[in-house]
């Protein structure tokens, strides 16, 4: 890393940072197709990009990162691609725990997890237990079998089943799978797609968006810093007339 890059990195670390960054890791398939590779190769390189992003987020002192790893719609993909993705999650879960612990990264899996095999769920549970810590440097949330509409419907049903008759914005948020997390300040989406694609529909009401044409497997610390720098330059009014004081 060049000297100026290091200085800029330190400046970012000391600046106003998003407390929660959400990422739609898009473009694995496109990345592979452009290189004449199978889609699975794109997903495998996507896992590398996630590793790089975690390192950068932890360095910058971003406390919370949420990634969209598998949507409720992704089951519609060809069975061999779904199988490959589930295999990649399993492999990552088995391999990455020591590195996550070393870097003080606490991982949680959120979404409709009941749809996964007992073996995968057990791996998720033990990854959560093994990486759990009092003061993690970074809390990583991996959304699996997640869809924003599905989450909202589940939340309504949970509220009704618990006997609640009315909710407020605050009490309703407790039924979402992100209960207890701050709303994302910044949403990153790769691959040039300018859509939310059923991701964190409730939570992104006031989120700042940052898009890049780069495919997810090409994502790295430099692009992550670009997104954070863009966020630092924005004035957030959160619906009010005055600039928010940071
Ligand atoms: C979207 O690209 C990506 C996914 C559906 C999977 C995301 C998974 C990873 C990045 C693998 C690593 C994750 C973990 C948690 C180990 P796409 O296939 O929709 O790309 P396309 O739009 O170009 O087809």
Residue whose entry in the numeric block shows the structure tokens 């605050």: 170
Instruction: Report the pLDDT value the prediction gives residue 241, as an integer from 0 to 100.
Output: 64
Instruction: Report the pLDDT value the prediction gives residue 245, as an integer from 0 to 100.
Output: 56
Return the residue whose CA atom lies nearest to atom 12 of ligand 1. Answer: 47
Return the residue whose CA atom lies nearest to atom 6 of ligand 1. Answer: 69
Distance (Å) from CA 245 to ligand 1 centroid: 36
**Domains of the chain with CATH codes:** 13-147+183-231 (3.40.1180.10)
pLDDT in tens, the chain (246 residues): 778 888 989 999 999 999 999 999 999 999 999 999 999 999 999 999 999 999 999 999 999 999 999 999 999 999 999 999 999 999 999 999 999 999 999 999 999 999 999 999 999 999 999 999 999 999 999 999 999 999 999 999 999 999 999 999 999 999 999 999 999 999 999 999 999 999 999 999 999 999 999 999 999 999 999 999 999 999 887 777 665 555
Would the pTM of this model clear 0.85, i.e. be above it? yes
Instruction: Report the pLDDT value the prediction gives residue 171, as an integer from 0 to 100.
Output: 97
Residue ranges of E strands in the chain: 20-24, 64-71, 105-110, 138-146, 186-189, 208-211
Q: Which residues of 35-49 are buried (b: 16+ CB within 10 A; e: fewer)?
A: eeeebbbbbbbbbeb
The conformation of residue 11, written as its DSSP 8-state character, comes to H
| Sequence-separated (6 or more) residues with CB below 8 Å from residue 73 | 147, 198
At 186, is the secondary structure helix, strand, or coil? strand
Return the residue whose CA atom lies nearest to atom 22 of ligand 1. Answer: 27
Residue 203 to residue 209: CA distance in whole angstroms:
13
Strands 20-24 and 138-146: unpaired
Please answer whether residues 9 and 59 qualify as being in contact, where contact means their C-beta atoms are separated by less than 8 angstroms: yes
Please answer whether residues 161 and 181 qualify as being in contact, where contact means their C-beta atoms are separated by less than 8 angstroms: no
Instruction: Report the pLDDT value the prediction gives residue 2, as an integer from 0 to 100.
Output: 79
Return the residue whose CA atom lies nearest to atom 1 of ligand 1. Answer: 26
Nearest Cα residue to 82 out of 23, 154, 29, 137 = 29
Ligand 1 atom at shortest distance from the alpha carbon of 96: 16
Ligand 1 atom at shortest distance from the alpha carbon of 32: 23
Please answer whether residues 105 and 131 qualify as being in contact, where contact means their C-beta atoms are separated by less than 8 angstroms: yes
Q: Residues with catalytic annotation? A: 26, 74
* Bridge partners for 188 per DSSP: 23, 210
Instruction: Report the pLDDT value the prediction gives residue 237, as an integer from 0 to 100.
Output: 75
Ligand 1 atom at shortest distance from the alpha carbon of 142: 15
Instruction: Report the pLDDT value the prediction gives residue 89, as an integer from 0 to 100.
Output: 97
Distance (Å) from CA 18 to ligand 1 centroid: 24
At 116, is the secondary structure helix, strand, or coil? coil
């Amino acid at each position: 890393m060049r000297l100026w890059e290091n200085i800029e990195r330190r400046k970012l670390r000391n600046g106003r940072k998003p407390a929660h960054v959400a990422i739609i890791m898009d473009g694995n398939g496109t990345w592979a197709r452009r290189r004449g590779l199978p889609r699975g190769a794109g997903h495998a390189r996507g896992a590398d990009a996630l590793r790089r992003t975690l390192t950068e987020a932890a360095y910058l002192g971003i406390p919370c990162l949420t990634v969209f790893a598998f949507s409720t719609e992704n089951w519609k993909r060809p069975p061999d691609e779904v199988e490959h993705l589930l295999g990649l999650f399993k492999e990552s879960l088995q391999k990455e725990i020591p590195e996550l612990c070393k870097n003080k990264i606490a991982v949680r899996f959120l979404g409709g997890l009941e749809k996964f095999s007992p073996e995968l769920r057990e791996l998720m549970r033990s990854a959560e237990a093994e990486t759990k810590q009092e003061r993690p440097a970074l809390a990583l949330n991996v959304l699996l079998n997640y869809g924003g509409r599905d989450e909202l419907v589940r939340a309504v049903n949970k509220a009704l089943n618990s006997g609640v008759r009315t909710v407020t914005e605050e009490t309703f948020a407790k039924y979402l799978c992100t209960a207890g997390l701050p709303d994302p300040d910044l949403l990153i989406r790769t691959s040039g797609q300018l859509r939310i694609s059923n991701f964190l529909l409730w939570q992104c009401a006031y989120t700042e968006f940052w898009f890049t044409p780069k495919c997810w497997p090409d994502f790295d610390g430099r692009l992550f810093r670009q997104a954070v720098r863009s966020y630092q330059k924005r004035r957030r009014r959160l619906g009010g007339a005055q600039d928010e004081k940071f």
